Chains A and B, each alone.
Chain A
Amino acid sequence: MNLTLDIWRQKNTDTKGAFKTYAISNISEDMSFLEMLDVLNEQLVEKGEDPVHFDHDCREGICGSCNLFINGRAHGPNIKTAACQLHMRSFSDGDNITIEPWRASAFPVIKDLVVNRGAFDRIIQAGGYVSVNTGGVPDANEIPISKVKADQAFDSATCIACGACVAACKNASAMLFVSAKVSQLALLPQGQVERKTRVERMVAQMDAEGFGACTNTGACSIECPVGISQDNIARMNREYYSAKAKSDNLE
């Protein structure tokens, strides 16, 4: 296939970027989207040009690095698919493909299509953990938990923190990410001790990072490569309001 690519090029955080158009030919439809970019980059390197920087690591949909905004959608046209799992057969010969970085003030562009998602790490550091003094390995099934709760917690835990929710949201809100992390631990017995403080701190950090608020449009769940549901946001809100009313924290 022959394609025209419109790619955001930006030298670093402090310089202004712009779109640059590239024509690319002989792309196989069995290639992944990232392999198509690899081909482009090889050609750029051969010509002595700066290759297009993009984030990737596992290329199997589990690490959440490959954040590309493709043709107006986070991770491209397919649902429940990370950009690395997207294949060129989802496009047609002659297509014009626009590739942009995630756009959010909390995710500054580092270079080209690579953004700094450190804000997510700081939100996790604010409370997205369980403090335990590790003792011996507990026996299996020692901690009682219902199958339903365990499944819900697992579903929340599948979040790969890619940031597609922020990218897709018209408000650049991080509520789906934060709520998945809050939910996962709020549902598990191990998370109960820090339950109230956790949600208070994580939401405070989310606000401090400059993410938007939620209008419940639901775009995030549709664009999420693992399909984290809106139930998480409702649960986080519930957790937050009840924590604010009942926790011992005055700050």
Chain B
Amino acid sequence: MSWFTKAISSSLGKKFVMASTGLFLIIFLLGHVSGNLLLFKDDGGQAYNFYAEFMTTSPIVQVLRILTAASFILHIIYSILLTRINRKARPVEYKVTKPGANTEWPARNMGILGTIIFVFLVIHLRTFLYEMKFGDVAYVDYGDLGRVKDLYTLVASTFSIWWYSILYIVMMVFLAFHLWHGFKSAFQTLGMKHRKYTPAIEKAGYAFAIIVPAVFAAMPIFFLIKSLG
């Protein structure tokens, strides 16, 4: 093994992969949630549909998409590798434990939370990305502006299914918990701890963990209400 493969397969090397891919996914979430704010624009989905068109065709976005996919894959693979090491390190469990006395619930359940996010990710990609790429999403004609796929209508109709919307909202709660611990944890893992900056990083992390999933959850809520009214 080269010095590099050895370094990356050490416990701290694995944590480095975990934290850096996690941070990249956080940046991805920020971009994803910002772009999707166009769903709230009152123009029958025109701006959103052009945005979706841009996201599926722009070469630079394709590079970012590959990086995002790679981050997800690495994050998941390394979470399995780390979980295996961690399980092996304690073959005999304690009879009595008081986990609440010294840890926060999200910190103890990153693996479960991540697994739930993974299941959600598969459903989410099947519903939107797969349909957009391989399904028969209808085209909509905006005259001089061009003809693009009408992803907006797919989103609107999907979120008018009440149980589907509820699934999304619940999933965002799990994402919030994952981010609640994950955001600050990634900085700690990378050694970025400083008495001047860490308090601000932690606060930013808690804010991110609440605001981003909340805005995501607002989307199904918005379309659910719209479909009722």
Seen from chain A, the residues whose Cβ lies within 8 Å of a Cβ on chain B are 6, 19, 69, 71-73, 98, 100, 103-106, 168, 170-173, 203-204, 206-207, 210-219, 222-223, 230-231, 233-241, 244, 249-251
B58 at the interface (CB under 8 A from A): no
Q: Contact: A213 with B15, CB < 8 Å?
A: yes
Q: Contact: B90 with A105, CB < 8 Å?
A: yes
Q: Contact: A212 with B85, CB < 8 Å?
A: yes
B contact residues around A168 at 8 Å (CB): 102
Q: Contact: A104 with B89, CB < 8 Å?
A: yes
Instruction: Knowing A172-B89, A217-B108 are in contact, say whether A244-B7 is a contact too (CB < 8 A).
Output: yes
Seen from chain B, the residues whose Cβ lies within 8 Å of a Cβ on chain A are 3, 6-7, 10-16, 82, 85-86, 88-99, 101-104, 107-108, 110, 181, 184-185, 188-193
Write the nearest CB–CB distance from A45 to chain B, whole angstroms.
26
A contact residues around B181 at 8 Å (CB): 216
Q: Contact: B97 with A213, CB < 8 Å?
A: no
Q: Contact: B192 with A73, CB < 8 Å?
A: no
B contact residues around A240 at 8 Å (CB): 12
Q: Contact: A251 with B15, CB < 8 Å?
A: no
One of A213, A233, A244 near B14 (C-beta < 8 A): A213
Closest to B81 in A: A213
Write the nearest CB–CB distance from B11 to chain A, whole angstroms.
4
One of A105, A203, A222 near B11 (C-beta < 8 A): A203
Write the nearest CB–CB distance from A153 to chain B, whole angstroms.
16
A contact residues around B102 at 8 Å (CB): 73, 168, 217-219, 222-223
* Extra pairs beyond A69-B94, A236-B191, A237-B191 (15, CB < 8 Å): A105-B90, A207-B11, A212-B88, A212-B89, A213-B85, A215-B110, A216-B184, A230-B193, A234-B191, A237-B12, A237-B188, A238-B190, A240-B12, A241-B12, A251-B3
A-B CB contact pairs (8 Å), 22 listed: A72-B97, A103-B94, A170-B86, A170-B99, A170-B103, A210-B88, A210-B89, A212-B89, A212-B90, A214-B11, A214-B15, A215-B185, A217-B104, A217-B108, A218-B104, A218-B107, A222-B101, A234-B188, A236-B12, A236-B191, A237-B189, A237-B191
Bound-complex Cα distance A197 to B15 (A): 20
Write the nearest CB–CB distance from B166 to chain A, whole angstroms.
30
A contact residues around B11 at 8 Å (CB): 173, 203, 206-207, 211-214
Q: Contact: A216 with B185, CB < 8 Å?
A: yes
Chain B CB count within 10 A is highest, among A69, A211, A212, A230, for A212
B contact residues around A236 at 8 Å (CB): 12, 191
10 tightest A-B contacts by CB?
A238-B191, A212-B89, A234-B193, A171-B86, A72-B98, A172-B89, A237-B191, A72-B96, A222-B102, A212-B86
B contact residues around A6 at 8 Å (CB): 95
